[in-house]
Chains A and B, each alone.
Chain A
């Protein structure tokens, strides 16, 4: 909100009817300026169409479970170019800031994030972000983001599949690590998955869908050397690949041949770094 204007009466010249600009008067001015900086806290959870920081400079997210923010209330008039809003997670739930989310939101309240294909994640209790209001574009802009800690998506067996008629069963307990970290538009995905089952008609690709890594899509084609243990035969070099054509999968593939149909005997270990949209 605008600073409170302290009324000043111009002296008529008589020296008796103007505002006395004494220490008390100046203290009123300074106190008004000091009050300019403020903080607000939200404990909202789930998906929120809009979070209103109420002109505050600091938004504390003390959500007990995950919070997804579709939009943030824009600063009120008059225009406040670069009005800053620092968002910090202090609660037990993660915070996700959606990019230009149009679902039920007012355009001027939307946030332009660094990565556009998935939400900017703030890990519970440590993640933080800085937004500034671009009054020219009438949007918040996420100008700084620190995820704070690696995140693990909620387990879904459907995120792990085989190509063709091959099946790949990954139980939740098979996953020691399946985590991701977003920095700018750089995503690092790391996995340590063992005692999985390959079935059906053996084929060449074990596929990890982006539901397991924040739902982002790849912007560049990247290939990374990783490790696998096919049917307990010992760790060997294989490769992981994402496709830059808005890829939604990490494909783990042997250098030659198909994976072996085996029960609880297939493991993959590795990480891949790539740009996301």
Chain B
């Protein structure tokens, strides 16, 4: 049966929700997150919360990286819909044709997306 636990934090800024959930799921694979504001959170898991889990979750919430514009952009890139992926990869295909003409190796889609994420982190 689902078990919910409320947490508060002294955080001043919202955490990166993707990074936060990834870390929280070290407690249990199904942990879900409701985040109302930087100070209030509700976590959900299938079974009753144990004291050690509560402590771990609190620590994770308190220390999760802030949601910066750069991180937000990276999260959006990771969740790109087909239309954006198609645009990027179609351009990549043409770039790889040119690279091939110059004897350069092709850039893979994974490498291209990683590069876009990396660029978002610098803007």
Contacts and interface: CB of A to CB of B under 8 A. Distances in A.
B92 interface: no
Interface stretch (A125-133, A245-253, A263-271): A263-271
Interface stretch (A26-34, A94-102, A170-178): A170-178
B6 to A, nearest CB: 11
Interface stretch (B50-58, B74-82, B93-101, B110-118): B74-82
A157 to B, nearest CB: 11
Nearest to B35: A194
Given A195-B44, A257-B81, A264 B75 contact: no
Contacts of B44: 171, 173-174, 195, 264
Contacts of A233: 18, 75-76, 78-79
A78 interface: no
Nearest to A194: B34
Contacts of B4: 173
A267 B42 CA distance: 13
B61 interface: no
Interface residues of A, number: 15
Nearest to B30: A263
Contacts of B78: 233
A232 B18 contact: yes
Interface residues of B, number: 21
B62 interface: no
A171 B17 CA distance: 21
Contact of A195 (B32, B72, B76): B32
B44 to A, nearest CB: 4
A173 B76 CA distance: 28
A6 interface: no
Interface in A91-127: none
Nearest to A260: B79
A234 B76 contact: yes
Interface-centre pick from B2, B29, B76, B82 (highest chain A CB count, 10 A): B2
B21 A232 contact: yes
Contacts of A256: 81-82
Nearest to B3: A173
A74 B33 CA distance: 54
Nearest to B2: A171
Interface in A15-61: none
Given A173-B44, A194-B32, 14 more contacts: A171-B44, A174-B44, A194-B42, A195-B44, A232-B21, A233-B78, A234-B75, A263-B30, A263-B32, A264-B30, A264-B32, A264-B33, A265-B21, A265-B33
Interface of B: 2, 4, 17-18, 21, 29-34, 42, 44-45, 72, 75-76, 78-79, 81-82
